[in-house]
Structure 1
């Protein structure tokens, strides 16, 4: 494994639009032959309800939790580089909500790390979704 790598290269919460290219570029390295990306997009439905928009709110510890998850996944999945960026604030249907990437020497390692990264981020990071439904009602998703 190359010694010039910092495994966690990008971890951010932001209220501005996300860039897949930024996350992809962050994890690129000559030692990595596989890069796997996951892009979460705001969809127009959830649990049988039509969604018109949503807001993401994050606990003050969310960025620190995201960094810890990234470090754990990099250490346990042979990923040489990982990155995760999540939106906060108001989003519309079709907006990017989260982008994660994992880079590893081989594709299987990258796929495994990327899946573990998004799955663990979703279960451990204190980010909550307040959905506006087409019928005018709202609902919170992800509250403890």
Structure 2
């Protein structure tokens, strides 16, 4: 089950569409959907989580905590809507596109994709692009 939670004024206008899309990504990656929680928040909220749990004193657009068991995906995906908005401007894309990229990025981590090396980043970006096109 995919759920959406809000720690800021932002709210998705298309929760059902996004939930169906993310479910399809999970199935396409030969995984099973468990409980996945998206938590939309501010920069300050996510910075506090970054400091407390990861000891990183930086702003970020997403932090995902993976509780998956084998191929059954479970986790909490924290998304800073402030960072997403700034990144969308920097990358010259629509806010909605950047938000979708971040949301699928989190679940792709649960599917086993990494983004630490250049090669891993390239594969991750390719997967993100592929799934974003499916949503359009």
State the TM-score, normalized to the length of structure 2. 0.35
Flag the structure with higher helix content: 2
Larger relative contact order (Cα-Cα within 8 Å, sequence gap ≥ 6): 1
Flag the structure with higher strand content: 1
